[in-house]
Chain A
Amino acid sequence: MSLRNIFRTVRSTHSYLLRYNYLGASFSNYKSVVPLSTNIPALKDEKVKVTFVLNDGKRIETEAKVGDSLLDVVVNNDLNIEGYGACEGTLTCSTCHVILKQEDFDRLPEEASDEERDMLDLAYGLTDTSRLGCQIIMSKDLDGLEIQIPETINDARS
């Protein structure tokens, strides 16, 4: 993990604790709070390439650290996707909805849990290859992943 990222993580954890000083059970879900536990030393600094396709069609290619969640990738690379990750990876907001290509979806090692599906059910434009970014952990096998960020609004609604 680069120094910059350590700084980021520590800083965000710190302000998080200051702002909403709660020590609830869901901490285990807040992946960037426990970065070291997801980083097996041997995998340190291993990186893969991922491409985000934003809802205006813009493509952003970036590097993702093995062991990080897609939410971490968005935050650590300042991808600036509005509203993304509102609940900070605690599976309670669904703002981290992403759509994958079928072949990418199929190569994810784990299927979505019931709790992830429960949140996905709230998302606009839910597809068969939808996932929550905070639940996808980068691995070497996921090199070249293409992630589509869907529209957060539904024009039919208002």
Chain B
Amino acid sequence: MPAPPFKMNFTYSKVMVRMLSFAQTIPRVGIVGAGTAGFYAAMHLSKNVTNIQIDIFEKLPVPFGLVRYGVAPDHPEVKNVINQFTKVAQHPNVNFYGNVTLGKDVTLCQLRQNYDAVLLCYGADEDKTLGIENEDATNIVAARNFVGWYNGSPSDKNLKIDLSGSTAAILGQGNVALDVARILLTPVDELRKTDITEYALATLAESKLTEIYLIGRRGPLQVAFTIKELREQLKLKNCKTIWREQDFKGVSEMVGYLERPRKRLTELMLKSLQDNPVDFSQCQRLKYFKPIFFRSPTKFITGIDKKLSAIKLDCTKLIGDKLEEQRPVPIGESEVIDCSLAFRSIGYKSVPVDKNLVFTKYGTVANNKGCIIDNNVSSDLGRLYVAGWLGTGPVGVILHTMGNAFQVAKVISEDLKLSTLSKSKGGFEEVRKIIAKKNNFIVGWAGWEKIDKYEIEQGKLKGKPREKICSIDKMLEVALM
């Protein structure tokens, strides 16, 4: 082929240059929150968008969100998912930036100026309150704070809790309620092999609790806990489950109409109700687990020093057609349960970290399949998305959060492929300058690996898989060593 004339060669190479620079426009995605949703979204994006650059910003110096600070210490198998997350973090196109808080160190607008897409996955951290009399009494604890406390969350490590009474009540019947009950009822020596914090072990070892109520406003057909957690509770050593026979009136007749998961769960409850009591007389220090239904808390009763002494419950019945949607209404009778400790476990809502975010009445960020509806669209701002509990509400397990994160990530990757990114955004280089003004230490993945190693070493000294660092200052010190 003859050499093309000079002129043509020139335009040709210009086109080439333009094509190259187009190809090199790096799609940048900023993810806020390094929990389940953040990592699974990053997994999907890093596999499906060529050239992508993903930066994950996390409030704490350490990653994994509720997998580290929610999942119970006696469920280490669940935490194996951390190995999948670690592979994502080690992907060359994925970066982790810990100790960066959206709303404090950087604003949403600043992120959107520097990324083509911003995905919010910062979870649902705040607990819902009952709004009843004396809710501020001593020894009424948010289940979520108690979980954070035994798991070493820096914001919960100083929780005050008094386990010197014999009876506690848990308000709510979800899996978190069962986690709390199980940790309180498990023989403490079994917890010593887990990564539960040392201070929690010391407090639990002194516990005098022998009786725990699990109180729900609705009936056995509406419980929110899942069968695996219930089965585990029923098998707990030295612990006897006592149901109230009258709560199960009409339940066995319903079993045939239920879908498989609820059917099996209900059958397990019925079986446990009918089981001849095992001979527990041989057991030392027997404890009791007492789920009760159709009771709605209306008032905390306090004694001297505003200390909790009992809970007043309204008796309820259910109205409505669809089983799941039936609502409890009071029938005009009440019951008082003596207890010196109560846990509130009725759900969570998300914290509004930016004034531009619109929240639904359920405490989630308003969205359509993960896209955040944005009225003041300006072309230089990256698009906004939400995944995980912040968007779905605090329901489901890791599996469900994973499904949601993949789904939203798919939408993002399709949007990125469709949009023509004319110019690369500033990305982390620009965001770093903003954060630097607040004089923050950013902890990268290597910093987390140092913390990880340190915690495992500290754990070894005590025969535990790890001893978590519970102070942010100490985390930073180890990470920046």
Contact = CB atoms under 8 A, between A and B. Distances in A.
B351 interface: no
A118 B399 CA distance: 14
B83 A20 contact: yes
B77 A121 contact: no
A90 B80 contact: yes
Contacts of A86: 80-81, 84, 398-399, 402
A122 B407 contact: no
Interface in A95-132: 95, 114-115, 117-119, 121-124, 126
A20 B261 contact: no
Interface stretch (B226-234, B327-335, B354-362, B429-437): B226-234
Contact of A122 (B195, B391, B397, B459): B397
Interface in B186-208: 193-195
A155 B265 CA distance: 25
Contacts of B260: 121, 126
Given A24-B193, A122-B399, A123-B399, A88 B406 contact: no
Nearest to B466: A21
A4 interface: no
Given A152-B406, A158-B391, A20 B76 contact: yes
Given A21-B466, A26-B76, A121-B260, A87 B81 contact: yes
Contacts of B407: 153, 155, 158
A154 interface: yes
Contact of B80 (A16, A152, A153): A16
B79 interface: yes
A18 B457 CA distance: 10
Interface in B20-48: 40, 43-44, 47
Give the bracket for the number of chain B residues in contact with chain A.
35 or more
Contacts of B459: 21
Nearest to A26: B77
Nearest to A124: B403
B150 to A, nearest CB: 16
B177 to A, nearest CB: 18
Contact of B402 (A20, A114, A152): A152
Give the bracket for the number of chain A residues in contact with chain B.
35 or more
A124 B399 CA distance: 9
A94 interface: yes
A29 B76 CA distance: 13
Interface string B365-379: 001011000000000
A78 interface: no
Nearest to B86: A19
A22 interface: yes
A22 B403 contact: no
A157 B392 contact: yes
A16 B82 CA distance: 9
Contacts of B392: 157-158
B416 interface: no
Given A118-B227, A118-B231, A121-B226, A87 B78 contact: yes
Given A86-B402, A93-B398, A20 B264 contact: no
A82 B47 contact: yes
Contacts of A123: 399
A83 interface: yes
B190 to A, nearest CB: 10
Given A94-B399, A118-B227, A158-B369, A21 B404 contact: no
8 shortest A-B CB distances, which residue pairs? Answer: A90-B77, A121-B261, A22-B465, A153-B403, A22-B76, A86-B81, A118-B228, A88-B80
Interface of A: 15-16, 18-24, 26, 29, 80, 82-83, 86-88, 90-95, 114-115, 117-119, 121-124, 126, 152-155, 157-158
6 contacts: A23-B193, A90-B80, A92-B80, A118-B264, A121-B260, A124-B403
Given A118-B231, A158-B407, 4 more contacts: A87-B80, A88-B83, A121-B261, A155-B407
